[in-house]
Amino acid sequence: MTSASEYRVLFCDLRTDQLLDVLPVQSLALDDWIGKTGTMSATIPVPNPALAARVRRVVEPGRTAVWVERGREIWWGGILWTATTTSDNRGYLTVQIQAGTWDSYLDHRVLFDTQTAEQVEQFDIVRGLLDYAQRTPGGDIGIEYGIEMSGMLRDRTYSRYDQPRIRDLINQLASVEQGFEWRITSYRDPGSGRRIKRLQLGAPVIRAGTADVVLDHPGPVLSYTWPVDGTGQANAWQSRGATTNANQAEDSVPLLSPLLLAEDDVTAGWPRLDGTSDYSTVEQQATLNAHARADHARARHPVTIPEITVHMARTPLSPALLGATVRLRIRDLWWPDGLDQRYRVVGLAITPPARGQSEAAKLYLEAA
């Protein structure tokens, strides 16, 4: 049985990854995702002056790296962004910390130099943006990458006058028609024992594992939540791009994609549902049209991301499950004939064991 003591939180220098300290924490919670930034939160108790000095020395938001170990394995890694010191009415001190996965660093990096790509592999564009961030003085935080290819060539110009965030550029490139998924994964190199931050790319999606993980309810799946969200659903779509009119005598108007309409939805009885998206830096009609088609395809159906809670003592899991396929089998009042479907894991939240509470994992799923 896993105990809370098997989890350790390492505090390191962000640029060198030099270990600064291992501090005791309470109320540890962590999650990781494909497609958005993962988070880690914890509370550091400060019962005496010696520990207060240690915490003050290493807890520096924006400069401190945080790694979470479970046993000898790395289960989470990221950057400390906030720290809140609290004293209660008895003088008991705690420091609440929050961190974001390594990709959050690219939210804090801006493109200050125009970059142009003509018929360049889209993964190379991503690697080029990462190189731009890490080759500036003080910008190298040790993110590594491989040589995988998607087979999709792109034309892109990123203007310094737009001052775009590098994270936004990668997300926009990923979300276009025939795009990809990306994340920065954390693990320990099995040979050297070195802590690794590595860019992971997958087209059209990130996939992991070779065999399905079978999960049953009743069984290892303790509970589930099945949201169906139609608030962003649309069967008619148009995207808006940059204003590119060079003729000063005419009114300036933005670039527009063709209006896309899913006529088969309307024929089947659906009401007309309109949607739009803005790409204020996109100046090429073909690029804008590709964004519109991708956005329209995503909006055609309600967003459904089932969430299941799994007892980890019954089914050992790890963050390596992100991108893997699970076979979910449910039989209950809602599924009287039984659900038996395959889903891909796109999010993972871990709750370490605590007093009166077993170790559990929440898996967030999408149709495989």
Q: Are residues 131 and 182 in the same domain?
A: yes
**158/111 Cα distance (integer angstroms):** 8
Q: What are the DSSP E strand ranges found in 103-152?
A: 115-121, 143-144
Q: Check if the beta carbon of residue 38 is closer than 8 Å to that of residue 350.
A: no
Query: Which of 56, 78, 102 delimits the end of a domain?
Result: 102
| 177-186, 251-260, 338-347, range with the lowest pLDDT | 251-260
Q: Are residues 64 and 127 in the same domain?
A: no
Query: Which of 44, 76, 102 delimits the end of a domain?
Result: 102
**138/54 Cα distance (integer angstroms):** 25
What CATH number does the domain containing 80 carry? 2.30.300.10
Q: Are residues 24 and 168 in the same domain?
A: no
Q: Are residues 221 and 334 in the same domain?
A: yes
**352/3 Cα distance (integer angstroms):** 8
Percentage, residues of the chain above pLDDT 90: 86
The tens digit of pLDDT for each residue in 197-211 reads 999 999 999 999 888
223 occurs within a structural domain: yes
Q: Are residues 98 and 8 in the same domain?
A: yes
Domain that holds residue 261: 236-299
**141/103 Cα distance (integer angstroms):** 11
Q: Are residues 223 and 319 in the same domain?
A: yes
Q: Are residues 128 and 95 in the same domain?
A: no
- Tell me, what DSSP letter sits at residue 38? -
Q: Are residues 152 and 277 in the same domain?
A: no
Q: Check if the beta carbon of residue 42 is closer than 8 Å to that of residue 105.
A: no
Please tell me whether residue 319 adopts helix, strand or coil conformation: helix
**41/17 Cα distance (integer angstroms):** 20
For residue 85, pLDDT beyond 90: yes
The tens digit of pLDDT for each residue in 250-281 reads 678 899 999 999 999 999 999 999 999 999 98
Q: Check if the beta carbon of residue 119 is closer than 8 Å to that of residue 155.
A: yes
The tens digit of pLDDT for each residue in 317-328 reads 889 899 999 999
Give backbone dihedrals phi and psi of 107, rounded to 5 degrees, phi first. -70, -20
What CATH number does the domain containing 156 carry? 3.55.50
- Model confidence, pTM: 0.91
Exposure string for 144-177, b = 16+ CB within 10 A, e = fewer:
ebeeeebebebebebeeeeebebbebbbbbbbbb
The secondary element (H helix, E strand) that includes residue 132 is helix 122-134
What distances in angstroms separate CA 171 from CA 159, 183, 273, one per listed residue?
16, 10, 25
**279/173 Cα distance (integer angstroms):** 11
357 occurs within a structural domain: yes
The secondary element (H helix, E strand) that includes residue 299 is helix 285-299
Q: Are residues 315 and 217 in the same domain?
A: yes
Instruction: Give me the sign of the Cα torsion angle 49, 88, 45, 101.
Output: negative
Percentage, residues of the chain above pLDDT 70: 97
- Tell me, what DSSP letter sits at residue 149? -
Query: Which of 102, 128, 156 delimits the end of a domain?
Result: 102
Please tell me whether residue 207 adopts helix, strand or coil conformation: coil
Band of pLDDT at residue 2, cut at 50, 70 and 90: low
For residue 1, pLDDT beyond 50: no
208 occurs within a structural domain: no
Total domains in the fold of the chain: 4
Averaged pLDDT for residues 233-258? 85
Instruction: Give me the sign of the Cα torsion angle 276, 34, 23, 352.
Output: positive
Q: Are residues 19 and 95 in the same domain?
A: yes
Q: Are residues 197 and 284 in the same domain?
A: no
Q: How confident is the model at residue 110, as a pLDDT?
A: 98
Averaged pLDDT for residues 38-53? 97
Q: Are residues 9 and 84 in the same domain?
A: yes
**136/348 Cα distance (integer angstroms):** 33
